[in-house]
Amino acid sequence: MSSSDIAAILENSKELDRLRKDQEEILLEINKLHKKLQTTPEVVEKPGDNSLSRLKVLYTQAKDLSDSEANISNLLISQLDAILPPGPQGQPRRRIGKGNEQKRKRVKTESDISRLTPSMRNQLEACASLKGEQVAARVTPRNAVKDEWFVVKVIHFEKESKEFEVLDEEPGDDEDSSGQRQYKLPMGNIIPFPKSNDPSSAPDFPPGKHVLAVYPGTTALYKATVVHGHRKRKTDDYVLEFDDDEEDGSLPQRTVPFHKVVPMPEGHRP
């Protein structure tokens, strides 16, 4: 591994960060126009109004930035593959409390997971109502190359910036510090869990459906395949098979409460 290899990776990482910031700015502009059109839809009929053409330009810019982000992400993956030693990679799973259970790597998600872009007022209110709730969050921990999904607690939602302030209450033994960590995340990085007291609020995932679920004994979410949906059983649990969870040549079936399972984000690449 040479210093030039590291320099190239860091340079592309800076470019990836710039693209993400540009996308957030475009997203804010799109949401402003959405709000304007929702509040006064008749404005598009006025002579000289360019709201729709402006919206088209913003959508095009957002798509171009997303494509560029995907290209840079793939380039970074290739650069890292070229310098990483062969063999299993990844960080250990975060554990709650002590134990000698085997640690498994976190599932990483590609950086081009599609961002959610809710713009309607009731969606913003729903986000604000999540204060104090646990949600699934896509976060880039310190020193991490790829994003990860884990459970956080919502502290505050800022409607103007469309950002969540969240708390990682169980950083786990794979973090630099054992203390709790706070993050500011855009709306698209958050997926609410179903209400724990309302099984009907959980999707009826069919067998074979890919989902993100909290692995038993951890605070991290991993890709899993549904074996049995919670509405087909006497209990309000799903039976799942987690990726990279092989034991004795097969994937064990694990029971997960319905309120710890969310849909696989659109654009996720297994």
Decide if 245 is inside a domain.
no
Residue 162 zone, left/alpha/beta (φ > 0; ψ -120 to 50; rest)? left
Number of domains comprising the chain: 2
Are residue 126 and residue 69 in the same domain, yes or no?
Answer: no
Decide if 205 is inside a domain.
no
Decide if 214 is inside a domain.
no
From the list 159, 180, 184, the residue with the least C-alpha distance to 171 is: 180
- Which segments of the chain have a pLDDT < 50? 87-93, 95-119, 270
Asked which of 142, 172, 191 is the last residue of a domain, the reply is 191
Decide if 259 is inside a domain.
no
Asked which of 83, 101, 131 is the last residue of a domain, the reply is 83
Are residue 79 and residue 120 in the same domain, yes or no?
Answer: no
Residues 6+ apart with CB under 8 A from 169: 152, 153, 180, 219
Q: What are phi and psi of 231, to 5 degrees?
A: -85, -10
Decide if 220 is inside a domain.
no
Are residue 75 and residue 29 in the same domain, yes or no?
Answer: yes
Tell me the C-alpha distance between 11 and 1, whole Å. Answer: 16
Are residue 78 and residue 14 in the same domain, yes or no?
Answer: yes
Please tell me whether residue 209 adopts helix, strand or coil conformation: coil
Structure confidence by residue, pLDDT tens digits, 97-119: 444 344 344 444 444 334 444 44
Tell me the C-alpha distance between 248 and 126, whole Å. Answer: 44
Structure confidence by residue, pLDDT tens digits, 22-55: 888 988 889 888 888 888 888 888 888 888 888 8
Q: Is the pTM of this model over 0.75?
A: no
Please tell me whether residue 146 adopts helix, strand or coil conformation: coil
Domain boundaries, position 41: 3-83
